[in-house]
Amino acid sequence: MWFRLVHDVRVQDGEAGVSAALRAAQLGDEHAFRLVYRDIQPRLLRYLRVLVADDAEDVASETWLQIARDLATFRGELDEFRGWATTIARHRALDHLRRQRRRPQTGAPFEELAHLAANFDTAEAALEAIDTDTALDLIATLPPDQAEAIYLRVVIGLDAKTAGQILGKRPGAVRVAVHRGLNRLAARLDEIGEGAVTQPKPPTLRETR
C-alpha cells in the first residue's frame, strides 16, 4: 500500500467515471475534458515539481495545450492516457530546461547507506506520520532519478513498465530506484525524528540524457 499522498490525489468520480469522461472528451465534450483534467492535473504538477521546481505551472500549461491538441488521436485506456500525458509533461519539462539553459541544481547529499535494512513498509509508515506537502518536499530532496521514479509510481500511479518506458529504463531499474529512494526517505525521517522538517528547494532534472 502506497503512503497517504496517493489518496490525496484520487478523483472523486472514481476510475470508471474518469475512463468514461476520457472517451467523451475525445469526442469533444468540454465538461468531460474538465473531469479528465481534474484527475491528472494535481499528479502532473507534483511530478513536474521534481523536474522544474517553481516552473511546474508553466510547463503544465504547455503540456495541456499539447494534450488538448492531440487528444482525438490518442488510443488507449485511462492508464495508458496517464502514461501518455506524463510523457508529454516530461518532454515539455526537458524542453523548458534547455530553453532556459539552466544548470542542474543539487540538494544536500545524503550519506551512502550501503547496508540500510529499511524497506517499503518502513518508509511508508514513517511518511504516514507527516503531512502530504512535507512528504512531497522530502521526495524532492532525493537524487533526481529516485525522486522521479517515486513520483511516477506513487503520484501519477503508473506501473513499473510504463514508468520505465517514460524514463527509458527497464521496469526492474525503476523498482530499484523507488526502493532506494524510499530507503533514503526512511533514513532521513529517522534523522529528523519529531523535529521540524526543513523544506529545501526541489532539485531540477539533470540533463544527462
Residue 5 has pLDDT above 70, yes or no: no
State how many domains the chain has: 1
Percent with pLDDT over 70 in the chain: 69
Going through 44-161 in order, the beta strands assigned E by DSSP cover none
Q: Comparing 51 with 125, which gets the higher pLDDT?
A: 51
Query: Which domain does 179 fall in, by range?
Result: 1-209
14-23, 90-99, 100-109, 131-140, range with the lowest pLDDT = 100-109
Q: Reduced to 3 DSSP states, what percent helix, strand and coil does the chain have, rounded to the nearest 5?
A: 70, 0, 30
Count other C-beta atoms under 10 Å from residue 160's C-beta.
Answer: 20
pLDDT digits (tens, 9 = 90+) for 122-157: 444 444 544 566 777 788 888 989 988 988 887 788
pLDDT at residue 97, rounded to an integer: 86
Q: Output the pTM of the full model.
A: 0.65
Give whole-number Cα distances, 50 to 73, 146, 173, in Å.
Answer: 29, 10, 19
Which CATH number goes with the domain that contains 53? 1.10.1740.10
Q: What is the pLDDT of residue 208?
A: 38
Query: SS3 of 156, please?
Result: helix
